[in-house]
Chain A
Amino acid sequence: MTYFPEEVVEHIFSFLPLHSDRNTVSLVCRVWYEVERLSRRAVFVGNCYAVRPERLVQRFPNVRTLTVKGKPHFADFNLVPPDWGGYAGPWIDAAARSCMGLEELRMKRMVVLDENLELLARSFPRFKALVLISCEGFSTDGLAAIASHCKLLRELDLQENDVDDHGPRWLSCFPDSCTSLVSLNFACIKGEVNPGALERLVARSPNLRSLRLNRSVSVDTLSKILVRTPNLEDLGTGNLTDESESYLRLSSALEKCKMLRSLSGFWDASPICVPFIYPLCHHLTGLNLSYTPTLDYSDLTKMISRCVKLQRLWVLDCISDKGLQVVASSCKDLQELRVFPSDFYVAGYSVVTEEGLVAISSGCPKLSSLLYFCHQMTNEALITVAKNCPNFIRFRLCILEPKKPDAITNQPLDEGFGAIVRECKGLRRLSISGLLTDKVFMDIGKYGKQLEMLSIAFAGDSDKGMMHVMNGCKNLRKLEIRDSPFSDVALLGNVAKYETMRSLWMSGCNVTLKGCQVLATKMPMLNVEIMNELDESSEMEENHGDPSRVDKLYVYRTTAGARNDAPDFVKIL
């Protein structure tokens, strides 16, 4: 291959879709490294602190799509204190200096400031797509900058971000010359938008395929918009609380959208809106009703029983087991199901139990991705589910009460989860809950050969549990553990493993400062971050040998060394 001209080598590399494959070929020789790095169009950074931004943009100056992830996953549940880090600024600064051709930026769990968005908007003449997921730190002023200056903008996708509302002005900042929008999602924007500006923007966006509105958009405005978007494929409604006259207009507008395949929103949806959605149902492949506590089991099932082509369904647990049986008998193509809790109190009536899950598993054999919150589970049910659905790739079960045993036998749920890992040979992501002993970890280590991400809460008896996982799960990338009895022994049991993983999170466990220091000393290519609730920083400096318990531990491999933006409560060993 070294006798081929570089253009040929580059062309061959263009057939490698996976980042991992491109990473591999770049290791072969210097020529290949150079060809690969200059022709790389997409870079994925799973941990923003694993590599220095300047280093990355120098290696890949021609990158067009950059994806960066910041805070650890448990930050979603308030386990990571505010101001921990994950700043977008350094990445946007570095790219602005070295990657003029940047077209797409995707960020998840990062702190993005308005000034970062302003720099982004002005620095990349071909910028086309901004996707921000679970980010914070910016306001609608930052969005105004994007709208004003990104002349070729195709995609502005804001998913579940915490955005400060500085008024509706931002939407009006899209110039009249902006006609390139394909995807616009502002569902997480809390404030009003100007309906007229929105209608005009949609009217001049003939390529719009995906539109997700926020709560402030009325049924009337939605109706007017839909008349302009006959090619819309994905719609997130505004609020649906209006009186029934508005729905007649909506219904005739919806009828024109023959390409509509995915629905979400339904903020505060009144049950009277349900029949007006019926004509769409049999085309739908995606339906998200998980923000709609106002629709009950009967409304939901009337809608869902008509959605015979449904592949992805997100609902609240008010759908109940009976409702899930309707899903099972109607939605034979279902691949992804998420059932969220409608109230967060741990004790309570069982609206959704193991019965609903078993029904789904027997009716929907294509099911491969599950997130299921419930009040109770049994081993028997999980064993049945595993047999019915061996194709699970993602299996996340959350029994609301920590350490709750099998609801019938009172035994731990080891057998049930064991069956899942044993039968589902392609399982890549697993979250376990309920009463669990070290036995379940034996099975996870033995059978979880494809497992990449494992989430553990209130589980296990001893260090053996964590050791089974560390030694057995060859493909493990992310391990996150809370409130489980694993100590320094487990932490230090297989230190070389951490080099093959993206990160480890442990909180509420039994690791100590001493153990963490040993880890940091043995593995210089890791950052070992500890966070304690109380400000013990001065104490820690004085008592290096003090075996004080560490509240929160975050370990990750990195080529960047200790980060310089860590707040006071984070100590990097």
Chain B
Amino acid sequence: MSTSSANSAASPAVSGLDYDDTALTLALPGSSSDPAAADRKRAHADHDKPPSPKARAVGWPPVRAYRRNALRDEAAKLVKVAVDGAPYLRKVDLAAHDGYAPLLRALHAMFASCLVANGAGRLVDAATGAEYVPTYEDKDGDWMLVGDVPFKMFVESCKRIRLMKSSEAVNLAPRTSSQ
């Protein structure tokens, strides 16, 4: 397992709570600024503080074990999916798909309202014709093109997915598979 990178430095290793991962945001994907700062009414989480002991009290929050287990299905691997230009995020369960093809079909279905498949099977913006490629952030915090590594390895290491405009994706170097 790779060592924590700068990206996960904010989350304390002790608790295993990765605030970046769990913080739902309505901001444009990829933007690193705190979207809540402008709105003084919204208390935003302090990502640098470790959770206080009371935050991890037994049986708190009061949610039935059945519900906790149902939402945290061990077999599921939910990751967030962002599309450049779309104002909200979706989630996909990587474990629910057998390989890249069904996964990409599912992604396509998710954003069918704004992206369509062109002749070459690539996703394009229906309005502008700009091509999108699926990319993902791996455990090391690096952004990679989806499809470069064996699927199971991808599922293991993928933290989130971003459908990026091809023009931006040229900067991503394909990764040589290394352990």
Contacts and interface: CB of A to CB of B under 8 A. Distances in A.
Query: Does B bind A?
Result: yes
Interface of A: 74, 76-79, 134, 160-162, 188, 241, 243-244, 268, 270-272, 290-291, 293-294, 296-298, 318, 320, 340-351, 353, 355, 373, 375-376, 398, 400-403, 407-408, 431, 455, 457-458, 482-483
B55 A402 contact: yes
Contacts of A74: 59
Contacts of B44: 349-350
17 contacts: A78-B58, A79-B58, A244-B109, A268-B96, A272-B109, A272-B112, A294-B91, A340-B63, A341-B61, A344-B61, A346-B55, A347-B45, A348-B24, A350-B44, A376-B42, A407-B41, A407-B43
A375 B19 CA distance: 14
Contacts of B49: 347
A455 B62 CA distance: 11
A296 B43 contact: no
B60 A271 contact: no
Given A160-B64, A188-B66, A270-B109, A353 B42 contact: yes
A344 B63 contact: yes
Contacts of A340: 63, 67
B90 A78 contact: no
B45 A134 contact: no
Contact of A76 (B36, B45, B64, B78): B64
Interface string B44-83: 1110010100111111111111111011000010100000
Contact of B66 (A134, A353, A401): A134
B93 A296 contact: no
Contacts of B4: none
Given A270-B109, A293-B71, A403-B54, A349 B66 contact: no
Contacts of B63: 77, 340-341, 344, 373
Nearest to B95: A268
B62 A346 contact: no
B91 A296 contact: yes
Contacts of A355: 41
A345 B46 CA distance: 13
Given A78-B59, A398-B61, A346 B51 contact: yes
Contact of B41 (A294, A402, A408): A408
Contacts of A400: 61
B17 interface: yes
Given A162-B66, A296-B91, A348-B24, 5 more contacts: A134-B66, A291-B71, A293-B91, A373-B61, A375-B43
A271 B114 CA distance: 14
Interface in B75-105: 76, 78, 88-93, 96, 105
A398 B62 contact: yes
A206 to B, nearest CB: 32
A320 B26 contact: yes
B6 interface: no
Contacts of A458: 54
Contacts of A244: 109
B106 interface: yes
A376 to B, nearest CB: 5
Contacts of B5: none
B171 interface: no
B26 to A, nearest CB: 7
B126 to A, nearest CB: 17
B19 A294 contact: no
A241 B54 CA distance: 38
A160 B66 contact: yes
B159 to A, nearest CB: 15
Contacts of B68: 344
**Interface core residue of A162, A345, A407 (most chain B CB under 10 Å):** A345
Contacts of A79: 58-59
B64 A134 contact: yes
Given A294-B93, A344-B63, A402 B23 contact: no
B138 to A, nearest CB: 22
B60 A77 contact: yes
B91 A349 contact: no
Nearest to A299: B90
A431 B60 CA distance: 14
Contacts of B56: 346
Nearest to B105: A243
A243 B101 CA distance: 12
B22 interface: yes
A347 B46 contact: yes
B153 interface: no
A349 B24 contact: yes
